[in-house]
Every structure is written in structure tokens, then in C-alpha cells.
Amino acid sequence: MNMIIMHEDYGFDENGRKVWVTQFDYDKVDQDLSKYSQRKETFTAKEVDAAIKVIDKLLCWVWHNGMRNPEGIKIRAIVVCWILLKPLRPFSLTGISKLYGKKKQSLGRWVDQFKREFKFLTPHMRPAKMTGGCRKRGQLLGALHGAEGLKRSAEIYPVKKWPEDWRDQVKATLLPVVRELWPDGLH
């Protein structure tokens, strides 16, 4: 009698070799957004007009000549939902990509384009990739990401409650950069 034993803890790589895998936790992703989207709010006519302009621009970006590439519509819609819907923000770009059977690069390209087009960042996004020649681009992007982390830290734990040596260190580090960016002072 031949028995077939099924193993769910391994899969196969591109060369046909067995590799250990971790199954994706779909229960963490399958969220009910109905409560999120059914909040009772009233909007003024001016707010509705502004929202329509924003939605129009977002949908034009999602469409992006979609008749030639319907798969692109899907990818851009995923990106917009990931960026704008707060319940999806805890997921990394890698996690969202895996959820839809995509590679991170296929969504990453459009996330970068979204940042350039809309000049909009949420706390879960990194700054847009710089264009042009910058020999220290990786270090600069890391520093910008660190500055965003510092800003989020200040939102969570007010600066006035930081130990004095922390505040002094941040001032000593950031003050020369701030003076260079705003030589006439902050307004």
C-alpha cells in the first residue's frame, strides 16, 4: 500500500529544489473595513468639491491608460489603497505584494511614482527615490528615513519630556542642516 504524505512546510524554488516556506497569514489581512467606511460624517459643499478634485486625480492616476494594460490598473489601485486606507498601513509593501501574488518591485515602482506625482507621504512610506547623480544617495535616504522616525517619535513622546542630553544631541545634529536649508530662518 503506497501512502502519499503531504507536507505544507516546504515548497520548490526556481531550480526545482525543496525549500522551507512559511505560509502567509491571510487571517491577518482579511479585515472587515465596513466599520471604517461607514462613519457618519457630514461635509460642506467646499469639502465635497475638494474631495472630488482629489479623487479625480487619484482615479486618473490609477487608470493611466488602462485599456492597454489592465494589470497596471490593478497594481495602481492596490498602491492607492495601501497608501490611503489606514487599516492597511501596518502592512509592509512586501506583505501587500505577497497578498496579491506580486513581487515587491512591481508595486514599488508605482509607489515611487505616486510619491513624485502627489508629493504625499504617510508614516509607513519612505521618501521617494532621488533622481540625478548623488554619490551618497543611500546614506541620504537613510538619514531622511531617520528624520521621519524622529518626527514620529516626537509625536508619540513629546520633545519637552525627552531627557536634556537627547534634546542637546538632536539640536547639535540637526541645527547645521536646518540653518543651511533655511538661511533666513524659519517662518
Encode pLDDT of 83-131 as tens digits: 888 888 788 888 888 888 888 888 888 888 888 888 777 666 666 555 5
CA dist 183 → 104, 144, 167, 175 (Å): 40, 20, 22, 11
CA dist 137 → 3, 75, 116, 117, 133 (Å): 56, 27, 17, 20, 8
Side-chain-side CA neighbours of residue 132 (13 Å) = 3
Q: Where do we find the cell 516626537?
A: 154
pLDDT confidence of residue 53: 92
93 in Cβ contact with 82 (< 8 Å): yes
Separation of alpha carbons 71 and 17, rounded Å = 30
> Does the structure show a pLDDT above 90 at 52?
yes
Overall pTM surpassing 0.75 (yes/no): no
Which runs of E-coded beta strand occur in 49-184? Answer: none
Compute the mean pLDDT over every residue in the chain, rounded to the nearest whole number: 77
Of the ranges 18-32, 35-49, 54-68, 140-154, the best mean pLDDT one: 54-68
Residue type, 84: L
